Amino acid sequence: MILEAIGVSKSFLGLQALSNVDIQIAEGEIVGLIGPNGAGKTTLFNVISGYLKPTTGDVLFAGDKVTGTRPHRMAHMGMARTFQIVKPLANMTVLENVMVAQFMKGGRTKEVRELAEHVLQQVGLYEQRNQTAGTLTLAGRKRLEVARALAIKPRLILLDEVMAGLNATEVQQTIDLIHLVHKQGITIFIIEHIMHVIMSLSHRVIILNQGEKLCEGRPEEVINDQRVIDAYLGEGFSLA
């Protein structure tokens, strides 16, 4: 197992954001995490990547207990993440953004620059490399998030809604990009609202509702599960 969450709970001032969540992800999987708004998806990502300490429970990465390990240590161990609300280093260029991440792997500035350029070519941002990150379109900024995550050569990547706000073409490009990342042997754990994306990408889907794991399984099983439909319909969603 590359990632395990064992009985993870998190409460904020009495508000239970996560309760007793168990998750197992095997190396090489693409796992989708879905659930209505406020289900605790991003909170779970924050706990896994070290931005939040779970109230109880443990997180295991590649078999090692990493509960409460600080985010930069997690990055060094091989866990990368993107943010739902994109956080580019707005006044630095696109290339510099990726170079910052690339520096983690060491090397001289010149080599770091070349490697970063290579990553930018992979994600299709090479042409914009000398633009400041703040001037990118939303799709561009989401790509930049992925580029930075790739630059640290992770074993696992947590993608938090990298497609929200993109148009159909951009979504398809991002799906292709995720397949490309996966082919490099990187395990992917992805939060996504767009159902057909999750269906086409994921090997397995985990449903979170009100901080609890509702169920998990193969995409086609999950969407026919009555509990899932109820959870979503309660929120006014319709599936597929």
Partner 1 sequence: MDGKKTKSPKFLIKYLVVAGAVCFAIAYGNTNAFFAHNLVLIFLYMGLSQAWNIIGGYAGQLSLGHVAFFGIGSYTSTLLYLNYGITPWIGALVGAALAAVVAYGLGWATLRLKGAYFTLATIAFAEVLRILATNFSGITKGAQGVGIPFRPELGNMIFRGKTGYVILALGFAVIVYLVCRYMDRTRLGYYLAAIREDETTSASMGINVANNKVLAMVLSAVFTAIGGTVYAQYILFIEPASEFSYSVSLNMALFAIFGGLGSLYGPIVGAAILIPIQEYLRVTFGGSLPGLHLAMFGLVLIITVLLMPKGVFPTIQGFVQGRIARSQKKKLRGEGSQ
Determine, following the binding rule CB under 8 A, whether residue 228 of this chain makes contact with partner 1: no
Number of residues that bind partner 1 (CB under 8 A): 30
Least distance to partner 1 from the beta carbon of 107, Å? 9
**Interface residue with partner 1, options 51, 126, 217, 225 (CB under 8 A):** 51
**Interface residue with partner 1, options 92, 180, 215, 239 (CB under 8 A):** 92
Determine, following the binding rule CB under 8 A, whether residue 3 of this chain makes contact with partner 1: no
| DSSP labels, 152-186 | T--SEEEEESTTTT--HHHHHHHHHHHHHHHHTT-
Nearest CB to partner 1, comparing residues 7 and 134: 134
Least distance to partner 1 from the beta carbon of 50, Å? 8
**Interface residue with partner 1, options 53, 65, 70, 196 (CB under 8 A):** 70
Strand 187-191: give its sheet, edge to edge: 79-81, 156-160, 187-191, 30-34, 204-209, 212-217
Buried b (16+ CB within 10 A) or exposed e, 101-110: bbeeeeeeee
Q: Residues 187, 27: contact at Cβ < 8 Å?
A: yes
**Interface residue with partner 1, options 26, 90, 138, 233 (CB under 8 A):** 90
Least distance to partner 1 from the beta carbon of 53, Å? 14
Distance CA 209, CA 18 (A): 9
Name the burial class of residue 118, with classes exposed (0-12), middle (13-18) and buried (19+) by CB atoms within 10 angstroms of its CB. middle
Instruction: Return the residues of window 146-175 that contact partner 1 according to CB under 8 A.
Output: 148-149, 151-152
- Short-list 172, 160, 178, CA closest to 86: 160
Least distance to partner 1 from the beta carbon of 210, Å? 26
Instruction: Name the residues that contact partner 1, by CB under 8 A.
Output: 49, 51, 70-72, 75-76, 80-81, 83, 87-92, 96, 99-101, 103-104, 109-110, 112-113, 148-149, 151-152
